[in-house]
């Protein structure tokens, strides 16, 4: 039986192999067909396209100030004579701020910072957290030390920790990204560690250890793949909260410098005149809320399809 | 039980120690001279030298840490160069509004979120459930300050029912106090309600399928009693846990809400301190908030056996 293969068994093996092959795209199909993923993904894609093509969406320079056009309501029009002597009408679709900058242009350009911060923070915290979590889960003697440090970091409320870190650096995109990433890392570490701890007891891992698989290969081939689905889900939620925290830092005036167009900065600028003109808070607020909502809904959809165990818990 | 309390207390020591080390190193991690930072921009060389000596900055870093810790344990957080008074008295001035806001917000959130969560679980899959869950996702997505300005616009500018901004202490009368707190508390409670309602629903769903719930119904208990006496009690542990963890969100929200409503509390103090690079104040506020967060979660852990007598340590 072992020397000569029975044709029907061989055929069965082929069929079984195909089934396994088919199992992979079916997860992907389930993800693609999930309405939450579809809605969240589409809105996020549109925001990303807005961020990339900001200069071509009827915008002007988001930092140009115009003293004659201060605090104008949405729809205000102004005729200017260009350097070539031709007359040109400037429309302020979302109104102007108290320096006469075009709120529409600033809002469109503001998508750039939010998308960059969201994606970078999610990527960095997941990568760093994965690395630390694998070490913590796999090397027992390091685990208590690492987890005490993570507990300590988690004892400082996230926004407060970000605010404290921002106060240490000169304000800028890099500082804001570092300040938002650090508080997110312990949550990723805990997640990865719990996956590692449950997987390492599985028979196939024990079997791999028995046949003498070197530790790096073991982690890479047998443990790492189990962390991917929960990490994609977690990364999405981190992206949403990073976009929010960046806006909060900008709004409080301690994030990215105020001349840079970010949604938080536009709203911070609009605070002083809010009683009379609400557009500087309203429009960027809608963009911000819609983006974060889309990312959160995308995360919910991914959780339901990729990580059913986690979906049941929450 | 006593040994559990003791163990749990012991476990908070390394956590608070880490926070203390982090906060201590914060000043040392900056590329600047801590004495010069504390002295401020207008200080002369003598003043900087005096501060360096009083903080023990001329000594090895380990003894610096113990000097600093010793002072903090005595309630001495140093001098704020920006506000020109001791950080301890500064915090004492600012803690009232923050405590008022946090207390009203917690009462409001819990009394709204728990019934909403119970209702959503009881009517799982219906429009009520979808509305509650939809509100919950919205609550996590709309930033605190946007909610704040929408509420100000609707209730203070559009129809001037409530004051736009500011704070009145309780000594000015309960009416004035609560009038100034309604909008900030509603603003701050949105995300907290979202969190608690979601967890209440999830926890109730698990409990409602238990045998004892069916038994309670079978013996003819009213639905009200089944839900609130039999089910909610058994679902309480995860709900109380999330209320404790949510304190972190609440603290973050306080910082933003106090800025929106111009309330001179600890949150506003944090932002002002960061803007002025007033490190002694920043350090004290972080230590204080983290301490409160850790202690509340310790208390939450200790209530488990009260809520659920089956839990034994």
pLDDT at A268: 86
Question: What is the number of other CB atoms lying within 10 angstroms of the CB of residue B253?
Answer: 30
Comparing B85 with A180, the larger pLDDT belongs to A180
B19-65 pLDDT tens trace: 998 888 887 777 666 677 666 667 777 877 877 777 667 777 788 88
Among B163, B165, B148, B168, CA closest to B96: B168
Per the CB < 8 A criterion, the answer to whether B71 and B283 are in contact is no
What pLDDT is attached to residue A131?
92
The pLDDT assigned to A314 comes to: 44
A88 CB neighbour count, 10 Å cutoff: 10
Please indicate whether, in this complex, the C-beta atoms of A167 and B202 are within 8 angstroms of each other: no
Contacts of A293 in chain B (CB under 8 A): 137-138, 141-142
Residue B194: both structure tokens together: 């979202």
Contacts of B10 (CB under 8 A, 6+ apart): none
Give the count of alpha carbons within 13 A of B255, CB side only: 30
Mean pLDDT lowest among A7-16, A83-92, B71-80, B157-166? A7-16
Take residue B207 and report the two structure tokens written for it. Answer: 């409990």
Q: In the CATH scheme, what is the homologous superfamily, with its name and number, of domain A30-63+102-313? A: MetI-like (1.10.3720.10)
Nearest-neighbour CA in chain A from B169: distance (Å) = 25
Q: Report the pLDDT value the prediction gives residue B111, as an integer from 0 to 100.
A: 94
Share the mean pLDDT of chain B.
85
Do B19 and A314 lie within an 8 Å CB cutoff? no
Instruction: In whole angstroms, give the CA distance from residue B171 to residue B187.
Output: 24
Contacts 24+ apart (CB under 8 A), A50-59: A50/A108, A50/A111, A51/A111, A51/A112, A51/A114, A51/A115, A51/A116, A54/A108, A54/A109, A54/A111, A54/A112, A57/A108, A58/A93, A58/A104, A59/A102, A59/A104, A59/A105, A59/A108, A59/A109
Selecting from A149, A254, A314 the residue whose C-beta is nearest the C-beta of B274 gives A254
Contact assignment for A163 to B270 by CB distance below 8 Å: yes
Size of interface A-B (CB pairs under 8 A): 132
**10 Å Cβ neighbour count for A201?**
8
Nearest to B146 among A153, A167, A288 (CB): A288
Cβ contact (<8 Å) for A278 and B29?
no
Give CA–CA dist A184/A242, Å, rounded: 9
Interchain pair B143, A151: CB under 8 A: no
Nearest CA in chain B to A147: B15
d(CA A195, CA A215): 17
Instruction: Please name the member of A164, A288, A296 whose beta carbon is closest to the beta carbon of B286.
Output: A164
Provide mean pLDDT across the span B262-289.
Answer: 88
In chain B, residues 234-293 whose CB comes closer than 8 Å to chain A: 247-249, 251-252, 255-256, 259, 270-271, 273-275, 277, 279, 282, 285-286, 289-290, 293
Q: Mean pLDDT per segment of 10 residues, for chain A of length 314 residues?
A: 46 50 64 85 91 80 73 73 74 75 85 92 95 87 88 88 84 88 92 87 87 86 86 91 92 87 87 78 89 91 77 48
User: What is the mean pLDDT of the segment spanning B63-80?
Assistant: 82
Rounded Cα distance between A47 and A282, Å, is 17
Instruction: Give this prediction's pTM.
Output: 0.86
Alpha carbon of B219: minimum distance to chain A alpha carbons (Å): 30
CA contacts within 13 A on the Cβ side of B218: 6
Task: Enter the ipTM.
Answer: 0.85
Name chain B contacts of A297, Cβ cutoff 8 Å.
Answer: 137
Q: Which residues contact A205 (CB under 8 A, 6 or more apart)?
A: A199, A218, A222, A223
Instruction: List CB contacts of B93: < 8 A, sequence separation 6 or more.
Output: none
| pLDDT at res. A143 | 87
Within 13 Å of residue B310, how many CA atoms lie on the same side as its CB? 5
pLDDT in tens, B207-224: 888 888 888 888 888 888
B 106-145 residues with CB below 8 A of A?
A: 137-138, 140-145
| pLDDT value at residue A97 | 76
Work out the widest C-alpha separation in chain A, in whole angstroms.
92
Instruction: Provide the shortest C-alpha distance from residue B14 to chain A (in Å).
Output: 7
């Amino acid at each position: 039986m072992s020397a000569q293969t029975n044709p029907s068994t061989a055929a069965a093996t082929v069929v079984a192999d195909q089934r396994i092959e088919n199992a992979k795209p079916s997860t992907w199909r389930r993800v693609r067909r999930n309405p939450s993923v579809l809605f969240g993904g589409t809105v996020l894609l549109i925001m990303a396209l807005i961020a990339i093509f900001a200069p071509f969406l009827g915008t002007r320079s988001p930092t140009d100030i115009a003293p004659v056009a201060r605090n104008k309501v949405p729809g205000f029009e102004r005729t200017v004579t260009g350097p070539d002597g031709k007359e040109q009408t400037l429309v302020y679709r979302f109104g102007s701020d108290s320096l006469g900058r075009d709120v529409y242009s600033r809002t469109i350009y503001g998508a750039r910072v939010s998308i960059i911060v969201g994606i970078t923070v999610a990527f960095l915290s997941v990568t760093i957290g994965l690395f630390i979590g694998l070490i913590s889960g796999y090397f027992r003697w390091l685990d208590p030390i690492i987890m005490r440090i993570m507990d300590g970091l988690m004892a400082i409320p996230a926004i407060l920790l970000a605010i404290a870190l921002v106060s240490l650096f000169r304000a800028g995109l890099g500082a804001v990204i570092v300040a938002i990433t650090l508080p997110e890392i312990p949550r990723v570490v805990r997640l990865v560690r719990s996956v590692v701890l449950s997987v390492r007891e599985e028979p196939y891992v024990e079997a791999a250890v028995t046949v003498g698989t070197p530790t790096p290969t073991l982690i890479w081939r047998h443990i790492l793949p189990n962390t991917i689905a929960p990490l994609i889900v977690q990364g999405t939620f981190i992206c949403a909260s990073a976009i929010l925290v960046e806006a909060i830092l900008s709004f409080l005036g301690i994030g990215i410098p105020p001349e840079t167009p970010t949604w938080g900065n536009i709203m911070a600028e609009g605070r002083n005149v809010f009683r009379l003109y609400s557009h500087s808070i309203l429009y960027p607020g809608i963009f911000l809320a819609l983006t974060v909502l889309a990312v959160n809904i995308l995360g919910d959809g991914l959780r339901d399809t990729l990580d059913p165990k986690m979906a049941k818990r929450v | 039980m006593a040994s559990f309390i003791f163990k749990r207390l012991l476990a908070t020591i390394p956590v608070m120690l880490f926070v203390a080390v982090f906060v201590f190193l914060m000043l040392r991690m900056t590329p600047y001279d801590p004495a010069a930072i504390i002295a401020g921009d207008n200080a002369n060389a003598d003043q900087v030298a005096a501060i360096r000596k009083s903080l023990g900055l001329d000594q090895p870093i380990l003894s610096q840490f113990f000097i600093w810790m010793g002072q903090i344990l005595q309630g001495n957080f140093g001098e704020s160069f920006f506000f020109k008074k001791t950080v301890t008295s500064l915090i004492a001035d600012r803690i009232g509004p923050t405590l008022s806001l946090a207390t009203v917000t917690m009462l409001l959130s819990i009394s709204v979120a728990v019934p909403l969560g119970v209702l959503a679980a009881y009517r799982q899959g219906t429009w009520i459930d979808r509305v509650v869950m939809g509100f919950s996702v919205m609550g996590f997505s709309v930033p605190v300050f946007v909610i704040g300005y929408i509420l100000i616009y609707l209730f203070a500018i559009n129809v001037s029912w409530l004051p736009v901004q500011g704070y009145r202490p309780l000594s000015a009368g309960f009416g004035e106090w609560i009038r100034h707190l309604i909008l900030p508390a509603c603003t701050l409670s949105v995300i907290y309600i979202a969190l608690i309602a979601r967890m209440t629903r999830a926890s109730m769903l698990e409990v409602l399928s238990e045998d004892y719930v069916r038994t309670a119904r079978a013996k003819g208990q009213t639905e009200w009693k089944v839900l609130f006496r039999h089910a909610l009690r058994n679902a309480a542990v995860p709900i109380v846990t999330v209320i404790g963890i949510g304190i972190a969100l609440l603290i973050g929200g306080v910082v933003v809400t106090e800025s929106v409503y111009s309330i001179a509390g600890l949150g506003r103090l944090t932002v002002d301190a960061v803007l002025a690079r007033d490190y002694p104040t920043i350090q004290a506020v972080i230590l204080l908030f983290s301490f409160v967060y850790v202690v509340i979660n310790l208390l939450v852990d200790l209530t488990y056996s009260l809520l659920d007598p089956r839990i034994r340590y």
